Structure formats: structure tokens, C-alpha cells
């Protein structure tokens, strides 16, 4: 891929439906050092309590998505992330509204990658994750097709 803006546009044009469910979008990518920022909009339907606390599965999905999209962006759409494990720490409750995730590469090998992600709400760290990701070749058409 030629530039970071082009990669963000391709991620947006080729996003899977789960990104729409999480109301997410990639907003910033840097290849060196590898870094991806995503924004999500949590809605009341994500909550499990009268106190409007976002259910942990949605929080985990946001963290996982940012790590997976970092690998896709970094590889120029040539690698498909397969999560082998994900470890999440919930540090504070998150609520309906905007959440920001920041993903980084801890170590990237030939067949396995180790990633981390932080999730913030109103500049407060609400959750962290690490993941071991298997690197699998992506179907060639990933960055060539566009949504209608």
C-alpha cells in the first residue's frame, strides 16, 4: 500500500459487518512503529444493567477488532488474523458513547503475532487486552472489492 490514508480508506471500504455492529471505524494508522487507532460508538443496547454498563463481550470485541485491523493494515491486506487467545482486563466500566482503542504490535514473527490494545472513554483507560494472532494469507480479493 502506498500511504496510510489509502490503507484507512481500504479498511473502511472492506469492513466486515461486525464493525458496523460496533459502530466502529479506523481513524489513524502508522506503519512504523505499528499503531492503529479506532473509534467505536457504544449504544444503550450494548448494556447489561440499569446503570448503563457496556457488556464485556462488546468491550472485548472493540479491543480484538483494533488488533486484527492493525495486522490487516500492516500487511497491506495480505494477512488474515486468526485469534489464538485474547486476555482482557476490565479496569473501569464503560458506558454508551464514544470509545477509542489503540492497538500496537508487541512482536511479529513469520506465523504468529503478539498484539496489545488499550480502550479509552473520555480519556480514561477502561480496558486492556493482549492477543496471540496466527498470521494466515488473506484471499487476494480483500482489498480489491468494495461495498455498494
Q: Identify whether 96 is part of a domain.
A: yes
* pLDDT tens readout for residues 12-56: 888 889 999 999 999 999 999 999 999 999 999 999 988 899 999
Say if residues 96 and 58 touch (Cβ distance below 8 Å): no
* pLDDT tens readout for residues 82-113: 999 999 999 999 999 999 999 999 999 999 99
**pTM for this structure?**
0.91
Q: Identify whether 94 is part of a domain.
A: yes
- Give me the CATH number covering residue 123: 3.10.129.10
Q: Identify whether 91 is part of a domain.
A: yes
Q: Identify whether 98 is part of a domain.
A: yes
Q: Identify whether 30 is part of a domain.
A: yes
Please name the residues in contact with 50: beta carbons below 8 A apart, sequence gap of 6 or more.
none
pLDDT value, residue 138 = 85
DSSP bridge partners of 122: none
Report which of residues 3 and 36 the model is more confident about: 36
User: How many CB atoms are closer than 10 A to CB 25?
Assistant: 17
Amino acid at each position: 500500500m502506498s500511504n496510510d490514508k489509502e490503507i484507512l480508506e481500504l479498511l473502511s471500504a472492506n469492513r466486515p459487518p461486525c464493525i458496523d455492529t460496533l459502530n466502529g471505524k479506523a481513524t489513524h494508522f502508522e506503519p512504523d512503529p505499528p499503531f492503529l487507532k479506532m473509534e467505536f460508538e457504544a449504544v444503550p443496547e450494548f448494556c447489561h444493567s440499569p446503570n448503563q454498563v457496556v457488556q464485556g463481550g462488546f468491550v472485548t470485541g472493540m479491543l480484538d477488532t483494533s488488533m486484527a485491523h492493525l495486522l490487516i493494515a500492516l500487511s497491506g491486506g495480505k494477512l488474515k488474523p486468526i485469534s489464538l487467545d485474547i486476555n482482557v482486563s476490565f479496569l473501569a466500566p464503560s458506558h454508551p458513547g464514544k470509545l477509542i482503542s489503540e492497538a500496537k504490535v508487541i512482536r511479529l514473527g513469520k506465523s504468529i503475532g503478539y498484539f496489545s490494545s488499550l480502550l479509552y472513554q473520555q480519556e480514561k483507560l477502561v480496558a486492556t487486552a493482549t492477543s496471540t494472532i496466527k498470521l494466515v494469507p488473506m484471499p487476494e480479493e480483500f482489498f480489491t472489492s468494495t461495498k455498494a
